[in-house]
Chains A and B, each alone.
Chain A
Amino acid sequence: EPEVTQTPSHQVTQMGQEVILRCVPISNHLYFYWYRQILGQKVEFLVSFYNNEISEKSEIFDDQFSVERPDGSNFTLKIRSTKLEDSAMYFCASSDWPSGNTIYFGEGSWLTVV
């Protein structure tokens, strides 16, 4: 069964460093998302991406964050100048919209900022 894959599964980084989280969405999907979940809290929407541009973003997704589709298969989330409070699980997702409207999530990348 097709699935969303994410790398790395866990990354530890020093405060102030830049981090890139990578995702390979399901191959025929065109709509992509990033979510995050701080330990013990709800899953929060960060950004959606379609047709090589941001479709929607939340208040969390400020200038510290950026997304990119560098090639035909990868979708990345870059976090610049990481802060302690960026420690969270980051989930990538993709949707089969417009043929359907079901969102499928990856298993997440756990980011620890020290």
Chain B
Amino acid sequence: DAKTTQPTSMDCAEGRAANLPCNHSTISGNEYVYWYRQIHSQGPQYIIHGLKNNETNEMASLIITEDRKSSTLILPHATLRDTAVYYCIVLLYSSASKIIFGSGTRLSIRP
């Protein structure tokens, strides 16, 4: 699986959009970009995934660059409950995959 690089930490004001970047320059054509988050010591929570088109769901938007070497997770109106560690992960879609968690980005939302 391709390796990803994320900033160690970020902060964002409550109510503003939180934009979390991720680099995955070695991603291959059949690998998807997934985002998860872990709030405190809760179970990792699936957020969104995509291949090359931008994706949006009720939680977030995922913007993938045209060359697919990087992506941005956007939380449109961050709240204090979005404070968590966010993980960008690249996975093959054609076979059952395990997630190997890195260090992620620790996002702090300030009031």
Contact = CB atoms under 8 A, between A and B. Distances in A.
Interface of A: 4, 31, 33, 37, 39, 42-45, 48, 50, 55-56, 89, 91, 93, 95, 97-98, 101-108, 110
B98 interface: yes
A91 B44 CA distance: 9
B43 A45 contact: no
A56 B98 contact: yes
Interface string B88-105: 000111011111111100
B43 A42 contact: no
Nearest to A40: B41
B43 A105 contact: yes
Contacts of A4: 43
A105 B41 CA distance: 12
A55 to B, nearest CB: 7
Residue from B34, B41, B43 with most neighbouring chain A CB atoms (10 Å) = B43
Contact of B103 (A42, A91, A95): A42
B99 A106 contact: no
15 contacts: A31-B96, A37-B41, A43-B38, A43-B44, A43-B101, A44-B101, A45-B98, A91-B44, A95-B96, A97-B96, A97-B97, A101-B93, A103-B99, A105-B45, A107-B42
